[in-house]
Amino acid sequence: MQLKPNQRLKLDDKDDKLFYAYPRFVTHVDEGFIQQLTDLYSDRLKPNTRIFDMMSSWVSHLPEEMQFAHVEGHGLNGEELARNPRLNHYFVQNLNETPQLPLPDEDFDAVLNCVSVQYVQYPEAVFSEIYRILKPGGVAIISFSNRMFFEKAIQAWREASEAQRVELVKAYFASVPGFTTAEVIAHKSTLPSLLQWLGAGGGDPFYAVIAYRN
């Protein structure tokens, strides 16, 4: 899988750090999505393990009852990350400029990415890094809905249907030798398309693409 140059383009091609310079203390999906994600984390994550929350914010949606050995956070806004009570440590880095992570090989039991994969311009490099930092048997969980900052999503994502976006993330995993065949969890919205487009709450679709390091 290799994206073409035009598929990586964004409508707003200014520095991402400018767009994310001001904190947004909101959740970008509805409560139904968040509950499904937390339930998924409860099922797939194990206590007392090491978690990397990639492209995180002021909340990680981790199960409150589950404690971890270490949760490393990453994002583009330091104020948001500093507000996140689940992070033991965090760093700010623009993955579209520098996809290489300042993290050791095989150091994490899980890598999480919630509603942010649509902004990654070089997913081949980023997913290679996810693989590198995962321990053997470690899990990567990429979750998303149909919401986005449209001007910051890559063209391949903007122009795709929801089903095609699932296939896109599956292809990102498949581009890196060593991941298991990606598993998909899909719960489509029950709201009419018009209400979804208008941002009505209570019906966000939930998608998660999951793979393990062999």
Predicted pLDDT at 25: 46
Predicted pLDDT at 147: 80
Burial label for 104, CB within 10 Å (0-12, 13-18, 19+), is exposed
Predicted pLDDT at 199: 55
Looking at the DSSP assignment, which residues form a beta bridge with residue 188? none
CB of 50 closer than 8 Å to CB of 69: yes
Q: For residue 91, how many C-alpha atoms fall within 13 Å in the half-sphere facing its CB?
A: 10
**Backbone phi and psi for residue 208, each to the nearest 5 degrees, phi listed first:** -140, 130
Predicted pLDDT at 174: 97
Predicted pLDDT at 188: 83
Predicted pLDDT at 202: 57
Coil/strand/helix, residue 136: strand
Q: Digits of tens for pLDDT over the chain (214 positions)?
A: 689 999 999 998 888 777 766 666 456 678 888 999 999 999 999 999 999 999 999 999 999 999 999 999 999 999 999 999 999 999 999 999 999 999 999 999 999 999 999 999 999 999 999 999 999 999 999 999 998 777 889 999 999 999 999 999 999 999 999 999 999 999 987 766 655 555 555 578 999 999 999 9
CB atoms within 10 A of CB 93: 17
Q: What is the DSSP string of 61-113?
A: ---TT---SEEEEEES-HHHHHH-TT-SEEEE--TTT----SS-TT-EEEEEE
Q: For residue 3, how many C-alpha atoms fall within 13 Å in the half-sphere facing its CB?
A: 19
Give the whole-angstrom CA distance, residue 2 versus residue 82: 35
This model's pTM is above 0.75: yes
Give the whole-angstrom CA distance, residue 134 versus residue 176: 13
Predicted pLDDT at 172: 97
Predicted pLDDT at 197: 56
